Structure formats: C-alpha cells, structure tokens
Structure 1
C-alpha cells in the first residue's frame, strides 16, 4: 500500500521517526487486511483545521482527533491503477493532548488514530457495542503487531 503523508500544520513538529513508524504501522494494517494495490493519504492538521472540517462535513462544531473520508467505495480501479481508499485527517494538537492524558507516546497516539481512520475507510464503525468491540480488537491487533501496545 502506498501511504502519502502531508503536514499542513505548524504547531506540533513532525520528525522522521514518526513518519517511519506511521508508514510501518499502516503497511502492517494493509498486510493484515490483504491490501496491496491501494493508496491513501494522511493529512496532519491542527485543532482549528479539524474543527472546521468537522463542522463543514459532519455538522459538528467541535474539535476531534481523527476524521476519515472514503474516496472510492467501489471496485472501478483499473488493474494498473492504485485504488484510492481515502484521506485521514489527524489533529496533531489533539493527538498530543491525548497522548498525555492516556500516558503513552505521541507517536503511539498518532499511529493509533491513523489505524482507527483506516479501519473506518475499510467499513469498520463503532456505532453499537458489538461493532465497537470488533473495531477495538482490530486496532489493538495492529498496534501489537508493530510493538505499540498501551
């Protein structure tokens, strides 16, 4: 899977270690789900940007940590093209806050949010209790595979 990472914020520094760990995590998630000819984008934003996205697209005028947008919900990609799964927006400010609140590393929090976003792109959800449990199990499986347990 091809992962494109774009940093559009300037409040939280993004270092090479984070990008490397994030890419490794997303590739492991892709492997677990049998994805090979796909691509996706991860866009780092700040709290103001993600609140605007949340307000404009979800009618929720509040800061959140991660928002996913699926771009291709069908199988129309040609064999030579990569299937674009979608975009994942992560607020690095919120990720930093949550890493402190939860007592783990910033890198772990960003990777977890990216995995959470990817699972949404793949159709997972957490509206009801059973779906939430299935999604959480898959998140923790992926995080354990890359050594980022809680």
Structure 2
C-alpha cells in the first residue's frame, strides 16, 4: 500500500480529470516525497472552478478574488483551532484503520484559472495543474515564498520535481 497518497474530488465541469492524469499527479507526489524525504501522508485534492475558489479565498484568506491554488496544512493551527489528535490502536489485528496514514492537508485547484495560466505561459494544462499540485504540496509541508530567497528555493524544488516527471515548459 502506498503510504503517500491522494484522495481527490472533481467539483468542476470545465475539464475532465481522468484516472491517467491522477496517475501523473501520484507520480509527482512520489517524486516530491522522495526529494523532501516524506514517506507517508494523505493529501485531499479538489478541483474546482473560479467561482468556488473565489469563495474559499475570500472566506479563508480575506482576498475577494479567485486564485489558482489554495493549500490548508493539517499541521498548521490557527489561533482558535482545536488540535486534531490521531490515535492508532496498536492491538488491532490489521483492519483497515491500521492502514490509514496521517493527513497532510487539503489542496484546492481552480481548473479554470489553470487553463488560462497554461495558455498565458505557453505550456500544457497538465504541466500547469502539475505545477499547482506540487506548489500546494510544498506549502503543506512547510515551504512558503514570503521573500525572494524562499521563493527561489521553492520554485527550484518545484521545477526539479516537474522535470523528473517530464513536465517541462
């Protein structure tokens, strides 16, 4: 069983998300996990349209506009949030619960914005969605781009992972 995995939902109708494409994202997750020495965890990935990501961006970040990707790390706690504690029963006899992995967080991608950005940058929609997924994953594990040095580090890591999967510009 994979210890680093994606649970995904498609809540938009702009572009079909195929099992083959999810396989590509699973490969990106594998490469990113290897590079960052993350061996297990689960990511909840949701594909939405601009209207939905606009609502989420306004509600959670205070920005009244759509964006391309949002990440919500489980390990990051806000001021008024309760800590989530996961317990695994060591005495269990191998039921499905023991196969569970700790969630890393949620990634939400606007396919509508990704399509527009792919056209603007002159590369495939698969490359843009892959970029946004890896970008979201790196945020989940603690990377950010609050200053130029941090942004350069994060973007270099993204490009290494995407190149390994053959998703170049």
Query: Does 2:123 match 1:104?
Result: yes
Q: Which has the larger radius of gyration?
A: 2
2:63 is aligned to 60
Shift of 1:72: 2.9
CA–CA distance in 1 between the matches of 2:87 and 2:38?
15
SS at match of 1:148: coil
2:5 touches 2:29 (CA, 8 Å); kept in 1? no
Query: Does 2:154 match 1:135?
Result: yes
Provide TM-score, normalisation by structure 2: 0.83
Name whichever of 35-44 and 89-98 sits farther off: 35-44
2:7 touches 2:43 (CA, 8 Å); kept in 1? yes
Gaps of 5+ in 1: none
CA separation of 1:76/1:34 partners in 2, compared to 1, >3 Å: closer, same or farther? farther
1:72 touches 1:83 (CA, 8 Å); kept in 2? no
Gaps of 5+ in 2: 77-82, 89-97
Name whichever of 135-144 and 19-28 sits farther off: 19-28
Q: How many residues align?
A: 150
SS at match of 1:30: helix
2:73 is aligned to 70
CA–CA distance in 1 between the matches of 2:40 and 2:164?
21
